[in-house]
Amino acid sequence: MLRGRVLARAAALPLLVAAGLGVPVAAAAQGSLAGVRIGATTTPDSVTVGDSVVLRVRVSAPAGATIAFPTGPDSGAQVEAIASRVVTPNAAAGAVDQTAAYTLVPWEVGEVPARLGDVVVT
């Protein structure tokens, strides 16, 4: 049985508009759940204001874990969701591996925080 809870701060995922992209993910653990990995990518890797970008957040956790992704960005954010979040399972032996895809439009130039909320793994 898994115990503990891991929160990944999806709010820390920046989108860079009209520039190169590096998407760091900050993870804060409450309790302990060894073997949890998280990563993020965007397609395309750079956009201009008003263009859409797909942010994919992938989480891998030990078998038996549950992964809860945030629904989308805050309504007052500088990034707007233009489609519902789509969560898909990935093939992974002995693990739970899922990717959430968010189609977003940034409304500011430069580094724009996505402010999605927390990914919770229990």
Domain boundaries in the chain? Answer: 5-121
pLDDT digits (tens, 9 = 90+) for 65-112: 999 999 988 777 788 899 999 999 998 888 999 999 999 998 888 888
Q: When comparing pLDDT for 94 and 12, which is higher?
A: 94
What contacts 58, CB < 8 A, 6 or more positions away?
38, 39, 40, 41, 90, 97, 98, 99
Measured on CA atoms in the order 25, 62, 67, 90, is the torsion positive or negative? positive
Amino acid at 46: S
Q: What predicted TM-score, i.e. pTM, was given to this entire model?
A: 0.73
Give the model's pLDDT for residue 108. 86
